[in-house]
Amino acid sequence: MKKIIPLIAVVAVLVTGAALVGGCADRNRPDYQARVNDDLKTAKLDDVRADWKDDEKALHLRGEVEKAADKARAEELAQKVVGTSGRVVNEVTVEGTNAEAMDDRLEEQLDRAFKEDDEWDKDKLDLTFDAKAGVVTITGDAPSEAIKARVGQKVRSIQGVKDVVNNLEVKTNKK
């Protein structure tokens, strides 16, 4: 019994230490979202919000502004905070532009581009395109990293695409 008590104490210290070290890792990571939201508020861009996606290493800007210059300013502020730690995806819309109709046309154009090109079997790849303010998010499955990259390149080449978020999942065993 006397030997068990010191052993329990050692285990407790090790578990507590591991929990503290794990917690420190999160605290040392910059809070890009909060910092950018503070900078946007200071710049009086109150209708723009930042949302950090850790899995994408991307900061998404969303909202609506009066002028295209405000949209560009929001992206500039965000890029200064994020630096080389990730990328900024600017999905902010400008008042007076019919972004929804433009995005719908862009999605139709992308569907056509992949259906009409014999190189791609869109249904087999299970591709879906979602456009917001010219930013296209690709979802679905790809049989390899190379195909995923090629899909992203083709989407980038379509006129009207401002940025691409390639969320294709590589599934090599798809039958």
Taking the domains of the chain in order of start, what are their residue ranges? 32-94, 99-170
Q: Mind listing the pLDDT tens digit of every residue in the chain (175 residues)?
A: 555 656 565 555 555 554 444 444 455 567 999 999 999 999 999 999 999 998 889 999 999 999 999 999 999 999 999 999 999 999 998 888 888 888 999 999 998 888 877 777 655 677 899 999 899 999 988 888 998 999 999 999 998 899 999 999 988 764 5
Domain 32-94 CATH class label: alpha beta
**Contact call for residues 88 and 39 (beta carbons, < 8 A):** no
Q: Class of the 99-170 domain?
A: alpha beta
136 in Cβ contact with 164 (< 8 Å): yes
Q: What is the pLDDT of residue 51?
A: 95
User: Which tokens hold the place of 42?
Assistant: 């200071």
Residue pointed to by tokens 């591709």: 127
pLDDT at residue 28, as a whole number: 58
Please tell me the predicted confidence (pLDDT) of residue 23. Answer: 46
Q: Which of 111, 172, 171 is nearest to 136 (CA)?
A: 111
What whole-number distance in Å separates Cα of residue 155 and Cα of residue 129? 9
State the Cα–Cα distance between residues 123 and 30, nearest whole angstrom: 40
